[in-house]
Amino acid sequence: MIKRLFDWLIQPLGLIAVSIAVLALFSLAAYGINTTQQPPAQPIQFPHRTHIAFGVQCLYCHPGAARGPAAGIPSQSKCWGCHQQIAKTNDPKSELRFLKAAVESGTPIQWIPVAQVPDFVQFNHRAHIAAGKNCEDCHGDMTNLTLAENPQVFNMGWCLACHVKNAGDDHAKLVKLTDCGTCHY
């Protein structure tokens, strides 16, 4: 049985079939990788740019960034604090109808986090803000963005390049910032 399968596979036609299968596999994988680099679809087309244009500070909605590991997504009551006073919220055609519906029905909006690190990385926003990093250094310029997008891949090389640059000539700092145990535990 298996022998016959081999015999067929090593014929030109079989080889072509194998090549097609391999090609299909790789293109599928390439597509998979590509999708990871696209910003995910969100339940609401949240316009970061509009909020920033109104002068809302990043830390107003994401206060966790200055205090602890996670920046956090604001609670709906926080959104509503402003939006209940804004006429556009009641516009049934605007994107805000989703917010209104969510608040009125009391169902949480299911956001898709964009800037993520894998489970085995322990990232702490606070230390980065305290070190003088600005939000846009990692998350990019949000003034022109609707949905959040990642300006770069959050991989270890990118993290380390910045760590090394920031440590400069300070050896103790370099040791700390390039220690595996600083992020992985």
Partner 1 sequence: MSNKFSRRDFLKLTGVGAATTAILTGCGPASRYVKREPYMQMPEYNYNGLSTFYATTCRECAAGCGLIVRTSQGRAIKTEGNANNPLNLGKTCARGQATLHGLYNPDRVTDPMKGDSKITWDEATQVVADALKNNKPEEIAFLMGTAPDHLFDFVSDLANAAGINVPVRFNALSMFESRATLSKAAENLFGKTGLPFFDVGGAQIVLSFGANFLETWLSPVSYTRGFAGLREAQTKMRGKFVQFEATMSSTAGKADEWIPLKPGTEAMVALAIGKLAAEMKGVSASAFEGANPEDAAKKSGIKLEALEHIAEMFAHSGGALAIPGGAALGQSNGLAVAEAVLALNALADNFGKVGGVYISALAPMQTEYHGPASAQEMQDFIKNMADGKFKVLFVHGVNPVFELPAALGFKAALKGVGQVISFSTFPDETAAEANYVFPDHHGLESWGYQRVATGAAQPVLSGAQPVVSPFYNTRATIDLLLAAGQIAGGKFALTFKDEVEFLQSKVAPLMNEADGFFSAPDINTFMASFQQYGGWWKTTDGRTVPAAADVLNKSMSGAESKFAGEGEFFFVPFVSPTLAEAGANKPWLQELPDPTTTVMWNTWVAMNPKTAEEMGIEDDDVVRIVSEFGELEVPVYKYPAIRPDTIAIPFGQGHTAYGRYAENRGVNPTDLLGQNFNEAGDLAFAGVKVKIEKTGKKKPLSRLESIMGVYGVGMGEEH
Partner 2 sequence: MIRPEEIKMSSEETGKWGMVIDQDICTGCQACVAACAMENNVTFVGEVDSGYGRSMHWIRIERFWEGEYPEVKMTPNQPMLCQQCGHATCEPVCPAFATVHSQSEQLNLQVYNRCVGTRYCANNCPYQVRSFNWRDYERPEPLPNQFNPDVTVRRRGVMEKCTFCIQRIHKAQDKAKSEGREVVDGEFTTACAQACPASAITFGRIDNPESLVSQLGHRSHGVKHLEELGTLPNITYYKGG
Contact residues for partner 2, defined by CB under 8 A:
69, 118-120, 122, 124, 126-127, 130, 172, 175-176, 179-182, 184-185
CB of 25 to partner 2, least distance (A): 24
The least CB distance from residue 130 to partner 2, in Å, is 6
Angle CA(133)–CA(139)–CA(145) in degrees, nearest 5?
Answer: 135
Choosing among partner 2, partner 1, none, which partner's interface includes residue 176 (Cβ < 5 to 8 Å by kind)? partner 2
- Classify burial at 87, counting beta carbons within 10 Å of its beta carbon; exposed 0-12, middle 13-18, buried 19 or more: exposed
Residues 129-167: b if buried by 16+ CB within 10 A, e if exposed: beeeeebeebbbebeebeebbbeeeeeeeebeeebeeeb
In whole angstroms, the minimum distance from the beta carbon of 156 to partner 1 comes to: 14
Give the interface with partner 1 as residue ranges (CB under 8 A).
Answer: 2, 6, 9-10, 15, 18, 21-22, 25-26, 28-30, 32-33, 35-36, 40, 63-64, 67-78, 106, 108-113, 116, 125
Token readout for 88 is 């556009």
9 binds, among partner 1, partner 2, none (CB under 5 to 8 A by kind): partner 1
Query: Measured from the CB atom, is 113 or 151 closer to partner 1?
Result: 113
- Among partner 1, partner 2, none, the one that 6 touches (CB under a kind-dependent 5 to 8 A) is partner 1
Q: Cα separation of 61 and 29, whole Å?
A: 37
Residues contacting residue 182 through CB under 8 Å, at least 6 positions apart: 176
